[in-house]
Structure 1
Amino acid sequence: MSDTTTTEKTRTNTQKPRRLLTQNSQLRAEGIFNFSLPAWAGRFADGSTYNACPEAGACAKLCYARVGTYRFPVVLAAHERNMWMTMHALADWEAQMAEEIRHKRFRGKWIRLHDSGDFHSDEYLEAWLRIMRDAPEDTWFYCYTKSVSMFRRLVEPNPPKNFLWCYSLGGMEDHLLVLEGDRPDRHAEVFPSAEEVEAAGYTDQTESDLLSVLSESPKVGIPANRIPALLKRQGSETFGSLQRALDKKIAEKRKRAAARALHLAS
C-alpha cells in the first residue's frame, strides 16, 4: 500500500463524522436508528488492532455483519471510524452523540446500539449509560449483547429507565446466563429456521426487531439470515449449541494442558 493510500485511509478512520446515527435497510422500515461498529476484530490502517466483540465465540464464524454490504469498503470504513472514536476519542464521541440525540428527529424513536459490534470496554459502556440518562425521556435505546459480566456489573444494578437489552447466545459468556426456570435472563437464540424457533418454544422476532426487548416471553428466537454459506456452516445447530460444543472443546484442551504441565513438573 502506498504512503498516500495509507494516509488517506488513516484520515478516514479518524476524521469526525457529520452524523453518528444511521438507519440500515431493515431497521429503517420500523423507524429505528442505529449505531454501528465493525463486526468482531480487525486492524486500523496504522497497524493497531481492535476487537469490537470481545466476548464473541461460536457466533464469530456465523456473523451476518462479516459478509455482504457490511464488508463494502465505504461501509467498513465508516464502522471503523466509529470504532476508532470510541477507543481513542471517547470524550469527543460522547459529546457528539449526546448532542445529536437531542435533535427532534429522535423524539419518540428507538435507537439500537450495535447492529454490528458490541460493548468493547467498561469505559465505552459507561459513556452510553450517561448518554441515555441525559437523553430526552421519549427517546428509547435497546441492544443485543454478549457482554454478560459487564452488564451484570455496570447495568443490571441501576439501568437507565429508557434502556432495554437482550443477551444473545453464541458468546464466551453464555455459561453466565440463566436460560430456563421461573426467571430466565432475556436472551436471543439463532435457529436454522422459523419452524425450529417455534418448536423450541421461543418467540419469533421476525415481525419486529423490537420484540427482542418488548415480547412477553424472555426467550427470543431468531431464524438465521438466509446467507447460503453461513447456513451451510451452521447446519442443524443453534448458536447456543455451537457455543456449548466450543466450551467443551476448550475445557478439554485446558485439561490436557494442565495434565501435561503436571507430568513435566513431576
Structure 2
Amino acid sequence: MRSGCASQPIWKFTLPAWAGVLPDGRSYNTCRSAGVCRDMCYARAGTFMIPSVLRAHQRNLQYVMDEPEAWKAQMIGELQHPRFRPGASRAHVRIHDSGDWLSEDYLVMWMDIMRTAPDVVFYNYSKEVELLERVARPDPPPNFLWRYSYGGTQDEAIQPHHNHVDVFPDEASLHAAGYTSQASSDLLAAYGPTTLGIPANNLPAQRRRQGQKTFRALQRAANAQAANRRYPRRGPAPGRPESR
C-alpha cells in the first residue's frame, strides 16, 4: 500500500484500470462492470499511465491473481504496523483508486483482512453493485464503508437509499442537482451524505467525451441505445400502407 496524501492518513491499494495485458501476456479486466466510465476514466490517463506506475499496479494484480494467500498474509501483516494504530487521526485505506472487485473470492479476502484491523477504516467506490449487495451487505465488517459509482453496467441496481456518487461536468451542475461535492476531501466517500458528486477531472479528452451530462445520464443513454439495437421497433414495411 502507498500513502495517498500528506495531510490525511489515507493509504491506497491500487490495481490497473479496466482492461489490459500483463507482461507475461495474460489479459485482464479489473473493472468488469465498467460502462461509459471507461472512456472517461482518470486512471487511464495522466500519471496512472506512466510505464513505471502502470507496472507497479500490474504487479499488485499479478500478486493477487497468482499468490492470493501470500498476498492476503502480507496485507494482514502490513496492517499491524504502528502507522495503522489509533493516534491523532484514524488511518484510512482506500481500496482501488483504480480497478474494482475482481471476484467474490477477492472481496471475501479483503473482508477477512479488514476484520484483522478494526482500528482502520476501509472505503471503496465500486460499480459491482450485485456482488457487494449479495456478499458484503448481509454481514459487512464494521470498518468497511463503500459507495456505488454511476457510469457502469449495473447502474439500474443502485437504489435511492444506497450511498452513491455521480460525476458532473462541473461544480455548478453538481450543486444545482442537490449533490454534495467530494472535492474538499476524498473521505466524504466514507462519511459523506447519500448523494455525493465529483466534478469532472481536468483532462481535456475526457471532458470532451463527457460534455454537459453526468455519468449517470450518459449510461442511461447508452443503455437505451443498446436496447434499441437488441429490440428494434417494428413498424410498417417500407413502401406499404400502414395497417389500421
TM-score scaled by length of structure 1:
0.84
Say whether 1:49 aligns with 2:16.
Answer: no
Q: Give distance in 1, aligned partners of 2:8 and 2:83.
A: 14
Say whether 1:22 aligns with 2:2.
Answer: yes
TM-score scaled by length of structure 2:
0.91
Q: Give distance in 2, aligned partners of 1:55 and 1:81.
A: 22
Say whether 1:60 aligns with 2:38.
Answer: yes
Number of aligned residue pairs:
229
RMSD: 1.3
Which residue does 1:241 correspond to in 2?
Answer: 217
Q: What residue identity is the alignment partner of 2:40?
A: L
**Percent sequence identity over matched residues?**
46
Q: Give distance in 2, aligned partners of 1:30 and 1:116.
A: 19
Say whether 1:204 aligns with 2:185.
Answer: no
Query: What is the DSSP-based 3-state SS (H/G/I as helix, E as strand, rest coil) of the residue aligned with 1:220?
Result: strand
Which residue does 2:207 correspond to in 1?
Answer: 231
CA contact (8 A) 1:197 1:221 kept: yes
Q: Give distance in 2, aligned partners of 1:149 and 1:28.
A: 34
Query: What is the DSSP-based 3-state SS (H/G/I as helix, E as strand, rest coil) of the residue aligned with 1:34?
Result: strand
**CA displacement 1:23-57 (0-9 Å, x = unmatched):** 23xx3432210000000000112221111110000
**CA displacement 1:98-129 (0-9 Å, x = unmatched):** 11111111223000001111101111111000
**How far apart are 1:250 and its partner, in Å?**
1.6
**How far apart are 1:252 and its partner, in Å?**
1.6
Please, which of 80, 84, 88 is the counterpart of residue 62 of structure 2?
A: 84
Say whether 1:120 aligns with 2:102.
Answer: yes
**CA displacement 1:126-172 (0-9 Å, x = unmatched):** 1000000111x221110100000000111111110111011000000
Structure 2 residues without counterparts, runs of 5 or longer: 233-244
Q: Give distance in 2, aligned partners of 1:61 and 1:29.
A: 31
Structure 1 residues without counterparts, runs of 5 or longer: 1-20, 257-266
Which residue does 1:93 correspond to in 2?
Answer: 71
Q: What residue identity is the alignment partner of 1:151?
A: L
CA contact (8 A) 1:30 1:208 kept: no
